[in-house]
Each structure stands twice: as structure tokens, then as C-alpha cells.
Amino acid sequence: MDIQKELLLGVGAALVCAMVVSFIMCPLVKSFAYKIGAIDVPKDNRRMHKKPVPRLGGLAIFLGFIVSMLLFVKVDHQLQGILLGASIIVVLGVVDDMSPLRAYFKFCVQIFAALVAVALSCRLAWLAVPVIGAALIAGTGQVSRQHAWSEPSSMVDVRIIQPALPVVDAYTRANPAQRIEALFPAAFKPWPASDRPRLLLTPEGIVNVPVSRLGREAAGRLMLLQEKTEARVLFNGFRKDGPRFFNTSFVLDEGQIAYRLDKRELVPFGEYVPAGFHWFVEMIGIPMSDLTQGDAVQPLLSLGGADAGILICYENLYGSVVRSFWQSRSPDFLIVTSNLGWFGRSVLGQHLTMSRMRAMESARPLVSVSNTGMSALVNSRGEIAAMLRTDGPDAATMPLLGATGSPTPYVRLGSWPALLASLVLALCAVLVRLGTARIRAGKAKGL
């Protein structure tokens, strides 16, 4: 009991010491951050703070940790390696906060810090294998970003309309004609003078009834939208085919529907009821649609020399859907149309991040049009080139430069290389752990 009390007192004293030192160091580190220019200035809507704030907060915590370790822990040869590696990482972070460093350079320094810990007899070999392996996988991705996987192709003038219209659910009646007319002020603004193809993008959720059941007034509004803009108009609606309904993207051109694409990946309990759960939905009386899944491979949208692959709402979660475009032909850019008003503002950034991931994987630019906020243009490297308001109505017209080139490794192979590498690393970790245990058992027996 005395040993337990002594251990608890030692751990408690170490924690209190680390907390006190960190608390004392916070104002000093804050002043230091201002002096060296380690300040984060809110330059865009992605940052939550409105005023410049100092960085280096982790430095105060690390100093508290170091002081506590030196005072209460016996620093042996193994622990020296861990502390030295951690110090290298902290110094790297301080320098990066002062002046942003390239990801490739930071990755190399992080690998060096890990090797320092291993070289100084770190005995966590079974843990080092998956950690270093994961770092190598992530580093391979960072290195691959330095390679140009595509080259510029055709250019299209794109107008994004973010109307921020109310979400229409099973309990709400909405006039499709009025919802379409709400697009007119932004849609009818003059276009840039050019001979490039025009594409007017409207988000999912504008037309809330099957297109075949649109009244004369609503259909007339759609035709007027296309005629006055002299652009191809993308809109979303429901398509009826016999007893089946599809969530479909349509493109109007020259007064008629020139293209359609059915959604392939439906949202469970939102767009369809999973097998075996119909009894539950019927029992609680939820008014829920049960849509039909579209074909896995569908034609691309052709825009006078440029081809586009369309993703509807959360289809941007599936890299497999993007890969399916290449079974038709290579797209020049991707389009994501969504209505995220159901989920609130918190998902807007997440949804855009998934779109950026799809752009990086395919090395194709992507334009995302959302009903409620954060519509954006993303380049082929996954970087946000332009973004509309994070909430509320907005619109923008911009040239979209497509990309062409051979399929990327992800488009060719999918996630299999990463999965196989993860399995190999996990197996190596198990083998190393078993080998270490066997060696220790042998030493214990005096062999």
C-alpha cells in the first residue's frame, strides 16, 4: 500500500507540475509568438476566429511536459531518444508556425525524428512498424502530389447559383415554379464575352416533384431559364420509369432535355429503405421515399469538347463512383450537385472536403454547387480556387479549365494498394511482437 501511495503521489505531483509550468509559460509563449510573427490571420471563411491569434500553444504544453519529466522521471538511454525525437518535432512545428514549410520537407523531418528515437534503443519495435509504415503511406501520398497527374484541356464558362431555398420535406408543399423563378435574378445577369460553352449549375432540391409531373408554369420557367441564359442548364429532380423513381440530374439545352444521369449511391433511410427494415418504417409511419439505384456506368455530359462526370449529393463520398467515369471515357472535370439543408451548416465543410478528395484522387478539377452554402471551384490538386458564401444566397460566374491525361494510380487500382500495405504492416507488427516476446522469454530462462 505504501508503494502504491508513493506512486500515486509521484504521478500526481508530476501532473500538477506540468500543469503549473504550462500555465506559467502560456503568456510568455504568447508574447514570443507575436515577436517572431507566429500569428494566424483569418484570411478566409474557413477559420472560426475573426481576429489574428498567436500560434505556438503546443509549445507551452511541451515545456510543461519536459520539466515534469526531468524532475520526476529517471531519464534512461531509451527515454532520451524519445525526448530528443519529440523535441525535433516541436522545433519543426515552431518553424512551420513562423513560416509555412512544404509538406514534403516536414515529412522528411518527421521520419528523421522517428529514426532518432529508434536509433537510441527505443524498444517499442512492435509499435514502430505500423507507425512508421503509416507515415510512409502518408508520405507517399504527399510525394505523389508533387507530380503533375494531368494537364490543361478545354475551358467552360460556369455559373454557380446558390439560392439557399428552404428544404422541402414530406410535410411541406412548395410551388416548383416559384422555386425555379427564384433563380432568375442571378441566372439572367450578363455572361462574360466569349465563345466558350456555358453551363448554368443549380443545386439539388430546386425541383421537388417528378419532372414528368411538372405543371405548365414550372416547365415554362425552366425553358425560360435556358433560353434567356443561352446556356446548358443542370437541374435535379425525380424521374419516373414505370413504378420506379430515380433521383436524377437533367441538363436542358435548346429547349429540351439533352442529358440525364441517375443517382447510383442512395442514402439509406433517406432515399431508400434497406432490405429487412420496411416493417420498421411502416410500423412508425415515417413518410419515406424508396428510390431506385441508377446504373453503375452511365454516359458523361458532353459540353462541346469537354466531358463532365456528375455526382449527386453524397456520391462524392464514393471514390468508386468517380472511377466508374473512366469506363465511359476520361472526364475533363467533375460536378457535385447537393442539397445539404437537411443536415445543417456543420456538414458543409465536411462535404466540400470529400469533394476535394475526389478531385485529388482523379487529378480533375471539380465544381460543387450546394443549395445552402460553400459552393466552390476546386482545382485538380484538391485546392479551393474559389468559394461562395458559407451560408445564404450567392452566385458566381467563372471560367473552368478542364484537365486531361492518363488515369491516376487511384483511378486504375482504387484503394487496394493502401489496404494491402496496411495488412502487410499489421502482419509485420504481429511478427515483430511475437519475436520480441520470444527473445525476452529466452533471456528470462538464461538461454
CA 48, 54, 60: angle at the middle one, nearest 5? Answer: 115
d(C-alpha 358, C-alpha 361), whole Å: 5
Q: How many CB atoms lie within 10 A of CB 429?
A: 18
Helix (H, G, I), strand (E, B) or coil at 399: strand
Active-site hit among 263, 265, 315, 361? 263
What are the distances in angstroms from CA 242 to CA 126, 238, 239, 246? 59, 13, 10, 11
> Among the options 122, 313, 315, 361, which is catalytic?
313
Q: Are 299 and 329 in contact (CB under 8 A)?
A: no
Catalytic residue from among 17, 30, 204, 315 = 204
- Distances from the Cα of 196 to the Cα of 230, 232, 375, 376, angstroms: 12, 12, 22, 20
Alpha helices (runs of H) in 122-253, residue ranges in sequence order: 125-144, 176-181, 184-187, 216-229
Is 204 an active-site residue? yes
Dihedral, 96, 99, 101, 107 alpha carbons, nearest 10: -10
Q: Which three cell numbers stand for residue 56?
A: 505556438
Task: Kindly list the catalytic residues.
Answer: 204, 263, 313
